Structure 1
Amino acid sequence: MSRSIVRQSKFRHVFGQGVKAEQGYDDIRVSKVTWDSSFCAVNPKFLAVIVESSGGGSFLVLPLSKAGRVDKNYPLVIGHSGPVLDIDWCPHNDNILVWQIPDQSLSRPLTEPIVVLEGHSKRVGSDNLIIIWNVGTGEPLVSMDDHPDLIYNVSWNWNGSLFCTTCKDRRLRVCDPRKREVVAERLSPHDGVRPMRAIFTKDGNIFTTGFTRMSQRELGLWDPTNFEEPIALLELDTSNGVLLPYYDPDANMVYLCGKGDSSIRYFEITEEPPYVHYLNTFSSKEPQRGMGIMPKRGVDVSKCEIARLFKLHDKKCEPITMTVPRKSDLFQDDLYPDTAGPEPALEPEEWMEGRDEDPILVSMRQGYVPPKSRELKVAKKNVLESRPSTRRSMSTCDGNSLTSQGLERLMEELQNLKSTVLSQERRICDLENKLSQLNHVSGESEEPREARLGGIGYPHVVAYKAKTFAL
């Protein structure tokens, strides 16, 4: 008789479990916007959820410790003039969305972001443009317009040197942002016309979800250096919900959550055939509206928890723990290799110069305690610094050798600058008045064209190894 060989894996028996009712978050009016994004973002300090609101877009930010029923008058972040389509936390600062969130609960509605990033010609997600921003200065670092249609998602590789995208034109692209070019692409990694998703794995391959020509949901694993044939391609089921992948680089596991599904399937990616191994399915009675996943540094190592997902229902958020059953109370080294910490490996200037660095890792042996709030200082560059000048700048002059002629030149330059500023102020006032008159006549409000950090439009991504964000 032949004996079946059972694949050895420490994650083979991972099981999911919903928390007790009092540990969830109730009475949350989850957004009903029809957009294929998560609607939820979580880190070791906060849970953020896009919610229903009138007169603009809003999202709710709760300290993780504030479980239970959410007061209907709980303050929201309300600085958006249009619907919020997606949110994400900065990986280097647990208080930044990049709205600055205080450690304690909000005491009043938050209306002012630390910085507004303006650069898209239409609503973010509608002009097929990818912009990478330096949020410390509010400046765009890189702009790419290689996509002819709606961009579904963007995902960075492990060291922030490349990102991959999926697009409505059915192409999977690998982009080098510093060269501002597409370095590899694959037409129709999935034959269906429904939306795709793609994420980089830690070893540099690309994991995708999509649909077959017969509308079956499908997953794939690809080598971006050879897009001819997939490493693995697996049909799953027939359903309309787009499969959103959540990746754990430490365990090399992927959790698949479909909007409208009542289940979460999880897989392990290995170097042995069939490369993508099905592990198990967590099922519950209610369908999910969205999902968020806790960074590894936020899980409970004392309970052998390797992942925590936050499932959005219509009016609540339910944490789900993924645990490896172990009897020992000792720290499990094999489950918790050093994981990506909050410190950035590079500054934006270093990244732009072409440097690549892997994430700075931290040990999980003692668990992770989030640091106190670190304020993000935004130092916008003075637009007048880029103004061409035919005169020598005062900063290049030696103060000790300032002659009467030099003083006259300085006074003349200051007068010119003052005139320029006043002229621009008058022009801005004139334009605002004209816009106000036009809006009054038409009875309509202007289409929002800004992307306010935190509730940013889609697609968006955090540049994981540089203090940059792409919106």
Structure 2
Amino acid sequence: MSWRSSFRCSKFRHVFGKPATRERSYDGLPITRSVHDNHFCSANPCFIAVVTECNGGGSFLVLPIHQTGRVDPQQPRVCGHRGRVLDVKWNPFDDHCVASCSEDCTVKIWDIPLCGVQQNLTRARKTLTGHTRRVGLIEWHPTAENLLLSSAYDYKVRYYFLAFKSVVLMPIYHRYPSEALLLSVSFNSDGSRLAVTSKDRRVRVLDPRTGTILQVSSSKSHRANKVLYIGGLKMLLSTGSSMWNHRQIVLWDPDDLSEPLYEEDLDGAAGVLFPFYDPDTHMLYLAGKGDGNIRFYELSNEKPYINFLTEYRSLLPQKGLGEIQKCSYTSKPPLLTDKNTLTIGSCTLSD
């Protein structure tokens, strides 16, 4: 009879989160009070974009990442939308290009000057139309430059090819409206597959070139809300709730969504859980709006696939979340810790 240790060898001895000091935080931000289930915060190595509250339209702030401290109440904004801004995403190929979508049924592409926004920016480089109801979700393609996906409450999903002078639209139609109202999207590492969660709370894998549905989850015990491709491990992760309204995390094989690989109940809170994944360390970060904690996990190809490490705790609830890629920074992810302060949190790893 062979002996096998019940202890698991982890590559991490200590993992802990450390909030930035007040001098390295952004203080005095009028963060939006919208209840839409989006991040409301997007970051790249140069700027941080934060959706703000305003009257008579929609706007967001673009702040240089190094210019921290107290934010001027009259700080210039990007304010060309006529309705509330619901999502902002930085172009992965251009650190000075950001996309935004709004309740005014449009998607806008903005060029941010090298020195930042010095005066109110009202004229977008492109205004993308075609949706007839509010646009709630946008996502850049990870490998194809100038390719943007949008999803709206008119039950249509569209691709915008920004390189053409006239915008080319490629709608992805579904059979039922509940399948087409997307709650979350995630491309795989090469952009050949698209995972989505819809209003019917199922996980689907699509071919983004044709819109063909390749896989549909059939689990009745999990109602998915957010989905994320786990790069390098050939897995999908979804967060949602169980039949008893407990928050869950579920791992899937993207080639077979008939049964989950792993399923775990977390707690009975009501906030939506947002997953962030670091493919270099195989670490998963789970955080939710209204929560004061961030959970750290380590993922692997061996059962049980996911292992809890520790969690960061704060007395302040998060209003929104984003991440900065590790090209020149170690901060991941930034946290909106309360309604007026944006704190960049750092995670320290020790072998």
| TM-score normalised over the length of structure 2 | 0.86
Residue aligning to 1:135: 162
Distance 1:12 1:225 in 2: 34
1:240 aligns with 2:270: yes
**223, 229, 234: which is aligned to 1:204?**
234
Q: Secondary structure at the match of 1:87?
A: strand
Give the corresponding residue for 1:158: 189
Where in structure 2 are the equivalents of 1:28-427 lying within 5 Å? Answer: 28-97=29-98, 98-124=109-135, 125-137=152-164, 139-146=167-174, 148-149=177-178, 150-188=181-219, 190-192=221-223, 196-202=225-231, 203-300=233-330, 307-325=332-350
Q: Kindly indicate whether the alpha-carbon contact (under 8 Å) linking 2:316 and 2:337 is maintained by their aligned counterparts in 1.
A: no
Letter paired with 2:229: F
Where do 5+ consecutive residues of structure 2 fail to align? 99-108, 136-151
* 8 A contact 1:152–1:167 mirrored in 2: yes
Aligned residue in 1 for 2:101 = none
For 1:22, what is the secondary structure of its paired residue? Answer: helix
Residue 15 of structure 1 and its aligned partner are, at CA, apart by 1.1
* Displaced runs of 4 or more, over 3 A: 2-6, 187-192
Moved more, 208-217 or 222-231: 222-231
- Partners in 1 of 2:258 and 2:211 — Cα distance? 24
SS in 2 for 1:297: coil
Tell me how far apart the structure 2 counterparts of residues 14 and 231 of structure 1 sit (CA, whole Å). Answer: 26
Equivalent residue for 1:378? Answer: none
Q: Could you say which structure has the larger radius of gyration? A: 1
Alpha carbons 1:311, 1:320 under 8 Å: kept: no
Where is the strand percentage greater, Structure 1 or Structure 2?
2
Structure with the largest fraction of helix: 1
Between the aligned partners of 2:333 and 2:84, the Cα distance in structure 1 is: 27
Aligned residue for 1:133, secondary structure, equals strand
Shift of 1:171: 1.8
Query: 1:57: Cα distance to partner?
Result: 0.4
- What does the per-residue CA deviation read over 1:405-431, in whole Å, with 9 as the maximum and x for residues that have no partner? xxxxxxxxxxxxxxxxxxxxxxxxxxx
Seen in structure 2, the aligned counterparts of structure 1 residues 207 and 323 have a Cα distance that, compared at 3 Å, is same
Distance of aligned partners of 1:93 and 1:190 in 2 relative to their CA distance in 1, 3 Å threshold:
farther
Output one character per residue of 1:74-124: Cα deviation in whole Å (capped at 9) or x when no partner.
100000011000111111111110311112132210001111111112221
1-structure distance, mates of 2:47, 2:30: 17
Task: Tell me by how many angstroms 1:265 deviates.
Answer: 0.6
3-state SS in 1 of match to 2:267: strand
Q: Is the 8 A contact 2:219 2:259 kept in 1?
A: no
Are the aligned partners of 2:60 and 2:77 in contact in 1 as well (CA < 8 Å)?
yes
Give RMSD over aligned pairs. Answer: 1.8
Deviation at 1:312, TM superposition (A): 4.2
| Residues 268, 276 of structure 1: 8 Å contact kept | yes
Over the matched positions of the two proteins, sequence identity in percent amounts to 37
Q: Is the 8 A contact 2:252 2:259 kept in 1?
A: yes
Structure 1, unaligned runs of 5 or more: 327-471
- The residue identity in structure 2 corresponding to 1:58 is S
Mapped partners of 1:260, 1:276: distance in 2: 24
Structure 2 residue matching 1:260: 3-state secondary structure: coil
Contact 1:310 1:318 (8 Å CA) reproduced? yes
